Amino acid sequence: MTINFRNCLSVAVCLFIGCSSSSGPKLAPVDGVVTFKGKPLAGATVTLIPEKGPFAMGVTGPDGKFTVSTGASRGAVIGSVKVSITEGQAGTGEVTKQPTTPEESEAYMKKAAETQAAIAANGGVAPLPATTIPQKYAKSDTSGLSYTIKATGENRLTIDLVE
């Protein structure tokens, strides 16, 4: 039996295309703004936790605006999500700024993936950093924040935190 290189290559390409096009949950772009006492909340981590599938995270800029990513992909899982908000990067107490260069984006996405893995290993709970916002927002089960992420149209969240 002889192996034809062209046939092997064709099979490999088909497998690669088939696997890459159907892998992972369907995501939709999500952005928004977080305020506390009517003022933009800078350096906060926004985490969207769906009923099924991986969660999405984003960090607010100085203007309180954020965009979320699920792992290395922009967007969040379509459907109902619960939301938690922590000041600084979840579990670190560090205040992080919105990435502005490809290098900063890559470093942020790497740190976000590490944070997601740490949270998943801790039963879905992030260690709570020091905060000026009420602690109830740090857990999706106590935040009182939930939204529906739509497959089409805008998913712009306005999150107004109160005492």
Residue pLDDT, tens place only, 72-112 = 899 999 999 999 999 864 444 444 556 677 887 788 778 77
pLDDT of residue 127: 58
What is the number of domains present in the chain? 1
Structural domain contains residue 55? yes
- So what's the pLDDT on residue 123? 72
Spatial contact of 108 and 74, defined as CB atoms under 8 Å apart: no
Q: Are 114 and 56 in contact (CB under 8 A)?
A: no
In a domain, 154, yes or no: yes
Question: What is the per-residue pLDDT for 110?
Answer: 81
Q: How many CA atoms lie within 13 A of 57 on its CB side?
A: 28
Query: For residue 42, is it within any domain?
Result: yes
What is the extent of the structural domain holding 140?
26-161
Q: How many CB atoms lie within 10 A of CB 73?
A: 13
Q: Please give the pLDDT value at position 29.
A: 97
Confirm whether 14 is domain-assigned.
no
| CATH at 88 | 2.60.40
**Residue 18 belongs to some domain of the structure:** no
9 in a structural domain: no
pLDDT single digits (tens) 12-37: 333 333 333 446 789 999 999 999 99
153-160: average pLDDT: 96
Is 50 part of any domain? yes
Predicted local distance difference test score (pLDDT) of residue 100: 74
* pLDDT at residue 41 in the model: 94
Max avg pLDDT among 3-7, 9-13, 35-39: 35-39
Q: Are 105 and 54 in contact (CB under 8 A)?
A: no
User: Is residue 1 one of the residues assigned to a domain?
Assistant: no
- Residues 89 and 28: their CA atoms lie apart, in Å, by 23
